[in-house]
Amino acid sequence: MAKVILGVTISLDGFAEDSKGSVGALYPDLDALRRTDLLQESIRTTGSVVMAWKEFAMAEDPDWVVDYEYQVPIFVLTDMPPEKCPKETDKLTFTFVTDGIVSAIRQAKVAAGQKDVTIIGSAATTQQVLNAGLADELQIDIIPIFLHKGFRPFEHVDENIKLKKIRVVEAGERTSLQFLVER
C-alpha cells in the first residue's frame, strides 16, 4: 500500500511561504536540488502527487510539465477547475479535485498503486493533512535563509500529533528531516 509523504520546505525561522504566499525564496537551489539523491529517490518512489492550487498556479511556463520532476498523475486541490486543462504527457496527468484533501489523497493512492503519494503543499495544505491524520511521513526541508514573516505550516497543527525521526539527509544547502507520523 502506498505511503503518504507530506513534504514542506521551510526557512530557518519556520516559514513555508513569504508574506505574499510565494515559496520562491525557499528554492534558490532548485537546479542543484534536482540532481540530489534525495529528490531522485523521491522521484523513483512516487506514484502520484497531490498539490495545492497555489503550487500548481506558480508555474510561469505553460510547458512546465515537460520538465517537471514528477512525471506521474497529479491531483490539484482547488475550488474550481481551470477552464482549459494544461498540457499533459503520457505519464503526467492532472485531476482537479474540488471536494477536499481526503478525496484528493484517496484518488492519489489509487493512482499510485504500490508507490508513494507525495504531497506538495502550502502552509494551509500541510495543516489540513496533518490535522486530518492523512500523512504517514513528514519530510521537512530546511533552507538556510530567514524570511522574517509569512505563513508557518505548523502554527495551527493539532498538539497531539507525535513524530518519530527516521532520517536526516544533507542535500546541498538544505537539510531534510524525515519523520514517521504516529497516530
- Is 51 a domain residue? yes
Average pLDDT over residues 22-48: 88
- Is 177 a domain residue? no
CATH number for 156: 3.40.430.10
The Cα 41–Cα 16 span in angstroms is: 22
Q: Which residue has the cell 509523504?
A: 5
Q: Are 54 and 21 in contact (CB under 8 A)?
A: yes
- Is 179 a domain residue? no
The Cα 164–Cα 74 span in angstroms is: 28
- Is 181 a domain residue? no
Q: Exposed/middle/buried for 71, CB within 10 Å: 0-12, 13-18, 19+?
A: middle
Q: What pLDDT sits at residue 90? A: 87
pTM metric for this prediction: 0.92
The Cα 182–Cα 68 span in angstroms is: 31
Lowest mean pLDDT among 64-73, 102-111, 129-138, 155-164: 64-73
Residue 169 pLDDT exceeds 90: yes
Q: Which residue has the cell 537539510?
A: 175
- Is 39 a domain residue? yes
Q: What pLDDT sits at residue 50? A: 97
- Is 178 a domain residue? no
Closest by alpha carbon to 145, among 24, 7, 60, 21?
24
Question: How would residue 135 be classed by pLDDT, with cut points 50, 70 and 90?
Answer: very high
Average pLDDT over residues 73-78: 95
- Is 141 a domain residue? yes
Residue 67 pLDDT exceeds 90: no
Q: What pLDDT sits at residue 104? A: 97
Average pLDDT over residues 104-123: 95
Domain that holds residue 33: 4-115+122-169
Closest by alpha carbon to 7, among 183, 172, 177?
177
Q: Are 23 and 129 in contact (CB under 8 A)?
A: no
User: Would you call 53 helix, strand, or coil by DSSP?
Assistant: helix
Question: How would residue 132 be classed by pLDDT, with cut points 50, 70 and 90?
Answer: very high
Total domains, the chain? 1
- Is 162 a domain residue? yes
Of residues 181 and 31, more confidently modeled: 181
Residue 105 pLDDT exceeds 70: yes
